[in-house]
Amino acid sequence: MPFARFPGRSYWRLIVAAIVMASASTIVRAQEDVAETEGVAAPADVPPIREVPITAADRDHWAFRSIERPAVPGVINAAWPLSPIDVFILARLEKEGFAGSPQADRGRLLRRATFDLHGLPPTPAELAGFAADERPDAYERQVDRLLASPAYGERWAQHWLDLARYAETDGFEHDKVRSGAWKYRDWVIAALNADLPYDEFVRQQLAGEPSVATMFCLVGPDMPDLNDQVERRHIVLNELTAMVGSVLLGLQMGCAQCHDHKYDPVSQADFYRLRGVFESAVPPLKRDVHYLSLTEQKSPPPIRFWVRGDHRRPGAELSPGFPRIASPSDAAPPANSRSDFARWLLAEQNPLTRRVIVNRLWLQHFGRGIFDTPSDVGLINAGPTHPELLDWLATELSRGDWSLKRMDRRIMQSATYRQAGDIGPSDAQSNKEPPPYAHFPRRRLDGESIRDAMLAASGLVVRDHGGPSVMPPLPPELVGTLLKGQWIESPDEADHYRRSIYLFARRNLRYPIFEAFDRPDANASCPLRNRSTTAPQSLLLFNSEFSLLAAQHLAGEVLRDSGSADPARWIEQLYVRTLSREPTERELRALTNFLQSQAKQLATEERDASELALPIGGFELADPYAAAALVDACLALFNANEFLYID
């Protein structure tokens, strides 16, 4: 077609202008229409809400049955259990032809407990002190010491922040910073360290003062620059409701924002009644303004059922209420406030809240829950492996004034928790699949614990508590993927070595070691982290500047603490600092041979000392190649499976 037959440029400009104006007009009309629906009755032709009744079969699902404290069963080997927890575990083991495993040795047990409660390895002094303590309650004293440390809250806060989808930015395209979001992180840490009872911990995050605690509800992803701010508010409220349902009740409420849940007895009306509890606490939103805490409004909008979940299709009005399946009667109990909701959540009649939280505690101590989908107790859940133990723990929590530290102590002082993790099956058991907890389950550390362990072993970790988050150096190629000013390196070098909980949490960029080791992106609540095994993990631990720096400082610590030029002393110090034990004779020989051969290889290359990665700190060795070989040995230990796993 000849070019002359196309319309001229002026024509196309008119067409484009008309399209833009029409689109803008449509957007404005849509916003005006929606704004009107928030203050008027639903159209007359909207059908009434119809809900499928809750049946006896629905209530017979294990999670929805009322909680009754079970009797402790009898067992054959009455000498093994140290608490009722162990009796429930042993009863199943014996039923399937197994026995409980012996206790782990003291070094492994302290390493396990310290990583569990602090996310850090035990120090050489702590290991030596525990080994020398001959008192019968030596281990119990160690658990109490760990629970009393500020490091406890710094470790366990991360578990809750994963659930709360915590980050300090909005996410989406611009990922703008939310000033002051770190205050919620510090609130969680302080609450856990103070052993704030779980019922009060929940109440303050839903309806409490100070309002910083209610960031729990609004700290998720948001899009402040959305053209339609009514739609934005609708999205925020729906996301909040879904999160509260999954985190506190173990119900996937979000599935019901557009239609009744396909499997579970949760209706769309259940969803919007629960959303109604929070409706008056989320104000009309303003473009590019962040909302981090709940604030009651003087003139809240009516509570509505939104047809197909569409914010442009208002349905019938509703009263705020709770999910019917978690209440004794088929009718949805009314809720006049967020405080009412908190009381209902924590009432004895509610069968979900306690089961969900004690399962989360068990999951973090053992790496697997008593039931496998910790934020979904619905019909797709396979059910608890030990249902009586689950309910015993649930009743124990409320009997113990909802103290989480008390529950940690109960679990960690059990024989089940103290078991060795590397016991092979006996001949009689070799052809059987062992039931859960026949030994302590091995699990890999998360990225935060790996980083903190490297910093602690190398003497770099800075133990300052609280305050605004810090930004350690990032590789230039990673900074180049961000918008200008989105990662400004903290000027104080000491901040680069603070614990991982205090690193700035950007939703669109995770710190490299966290990214490699499966930290969630905070765009949704994460009840259970993935634990992948990938090549980038090894590449990062072997080749990153952070790993090399930690290895150099670790080598310096080894030289200083050994006070000797004897490689055998170096190796002993290196093992205690990284693996919390002394090397075996075989390991001592192997690493001694490595140090010799590596130093010889480096000397053969005739590189200048300035080109070698040498220890930092400690005394200087006369032979720089031997010193560089020690750094290589430190880097190798950081990459050992035993460093990355606890059992």
CB contact at 8 A, 327 and 274: no
CB contact at 8 A, 78 and 348: no
Buried b (16+ CB within 10 A) or exposed e, 234-257: bbbbbbbbbbbbbbbbbbbbbbbb
pLDDT of 41:
56
Degrees, nearest 5: CA angle 227-229-232: 105
Q: Which residue has tokens 């490091």?
A: 151
Q: Which residue has tokens 């310096």?
A: 556
DSSP letter for each residue of 317-347 = E---B--GGGSSSSSPPB-SSHHHHHHHHTS
The tokens for 203 are 């109440």
Share of the chain above pLDDT 70, in %: 91
pLDDT of 408:
98
As beta bridge partners, residue 306 has 314
Domains in the chain: boundaries: 3-37, 68-148+351-429, 543-646
Distance from CA of residue 631 to its chain's centroid?
33
CB contact at 8 A, 338 and 206: yes
Q: pLDDT under 50 in the chain at which residues?
A: 1-40, 427-428
pLDDT of 309:
96
CA distances for 402 relative to 191, 362, 390, 619, angstroms? 13, 15, 15, 52
pLDDT of 7:
41
pTM surpassing 0.85?
A: yes
Distance CA(215)–CA(197), nearest Å, equals 19
Distance CA(589)–CA(579), nearest Å, equals 17
